[in-house]
């Protein structure tokens, strides 16, 4: 309890600037198709909105789950670069699949981008995604000091 009170007082004294929300945007990822940000940075945490396989240069959705996955990972990498972060900073991945039968294929693709220690992850089958995408991925990253 003493630790909690100390932390509360400490952050009260320094103000809430540590917890200030910073909007992250890059032209190298698709523009939001609704009222949301590509990503928000709060302190060391980076929260990316769900990404679908849209090529930002054409605004077209890639064909097939494999091509969409590769494009999603490019989009995620580009957003992370805008925060001076990288894939190894990702701690949590949420994947939405329209067809859970693509799960094995997804794991093969996923292993090309992530190594141990792997981020925490869940994969959920959904009935439909924006623009009729086959896959959507959102992530949380933590920017550690290097």
Joined together, the tokens standing for residue 103 give 């799960």
How far lies 105's CA from each of 112, 130, 138, in Å?
A: 12, 21, 18
Tens-digit pLDDT profile for residues 2-53 = 665 555 555 544 445 567 899 999 999 999 989 999 999 999 999 999 999 9
Give the gyration radius of the chain's Cα atoms: 17
Tens-digit pLDDT profile for residues 117-135 = 999 999 999 999 999 999 9
Which of 82, 75, 40, 39 is closest to 57 using CA atoms?
Answer: 75
Sequence-distant (6+) residues with CB within 8 A of 116 are none
Mean per-residue pLDDT over the chain, rounded: 91
Question: Which pLDDT band holds residue 144 (cuts at 50, 70, 90)?
Answer: confident
Tens-digit pLDDT profile for residues 105-118 = 999 999 999 999 99
Q: Which residue has the higher pLDDT, 27 or 1?
A: 27
d(CA 67, CA 118): 22
**Fold annotation for 16-142:** 60s Ribosomal Protein L30; Chain: A; (3.30.1330)
d(CA 41, CA 21): 6
Joined together, the tokens standing for residue 55 give 């090529």
Judged on CB neighbours under 10 Å (0-12, 13-18, 19+), 19 is: exposed
Joined together, the tokens standing for residue 67 give 């091509």
Asked whether 56 and 29 are in contact (CB, 8 A), the reply is: yes
* In the chain, where the domains are located: 16-142
Q: Which residue has the higher pLDDT, 55 or 146?
A: 55
Asked whether 141 and 46 are in contact (CB, 8 A), the reply is: yes
Tens-digit pLDDT profile for residues 40-99 = 999 999 999 999 999 999 999 999 999 999 999 999 999 999 999 999 999 999 999 999
Angle between helices 64-81 and 103-110 in degrees, nearest 10? 40
């Amino acid at each position: 309890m003493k630790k909690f009170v100390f932390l509360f007082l400490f952050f009260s004294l320094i103000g809430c600037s540590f917890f200030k929300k910073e909007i992250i945007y890059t032209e190298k990822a698709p523009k939001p198709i609704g009222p949301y940000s590509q990503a928000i940075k709060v302190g060391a945490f980076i929260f990316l909105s769900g990404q679908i396989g849209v090529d930002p240069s054409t605004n077209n959705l890639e064909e097939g789950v494999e091509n969409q996955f590769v494009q999603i990972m490019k989009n995620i990498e580009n957003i992370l670069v805008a925060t001076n972060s990288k894939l190894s900073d990702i701690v949590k991945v949420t994947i939405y699949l329209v067809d859970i039968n693509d799960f094995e294929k997804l794991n093969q693709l996923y292993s090309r981008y992530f190594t141990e220690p792997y981020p925490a992850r869940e994969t959920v089958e959904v009935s439909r995604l924006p623009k009729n995408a086959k896959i959507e991925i959102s992530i949380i990253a933590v920017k550690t000091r290097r």
